[in-house]
Amino acid sequence: MFVVSLTYKKPIAEVELYLAAHISYLEQHYAAGTFVASGRKVPRTGGVILAVAATRAVLEIILQQDPFAIADVADFEVIEFIPTKAAAGLEQLIEVL
């Protein structure tokens, strides 16, 4: 499992030019089962994506397709972890691995 931290490197007005395309990209990867949760950072300096992928290399290829990456408006940090515990109702996060 992976935590992806996006940090905007352009003004928010420029980031918003790509927001609709970014949301479509997210929806595509939710449907594929790659993305589990996502949202904005507070304050709004970027976002976070919780993802499941076979390998980090596979996830990095997927992240390169993000409109924010293509437009170079955000940096991406990928943190891999192995979930060993989960809250009630989220046990499937452990079973994925």
Q: What's the confidence (pLDDT) of residue 93?
A: 78
Question: What is the per-residue pLDDT across 16-57, written as a single tens digit (0 to 9) for each?
Answer: 999 999 999 999 999 999 999 999 999 999 999 999 999 999
Range of the domain at 29: 2-83
This prediction's pTM: 0.92
Decide if 10 contacts 70 (C-beta within 8 A).
no
| Residue 43 per-residue DSSP state | S
* φ/ψ of residue 18, rounded to 5: -110, 5
Task: Say yes or no to pLDDT of 97 above 60.
Answer: no
Q: Which CATH number belongs to the domain containing residue 24 in this structure?
A: 3.30.70.1060
Question: What is the per-residue pLDDT across 77-95, written as a single tens digit (0 to 9) for each?
Answer: 999 998 888 888 888 777 6
Q: What's the total number of domains in the chain? A: 1
In a domain, 63, yes or no: yes
Element (H, E) at 47: strand 46-51
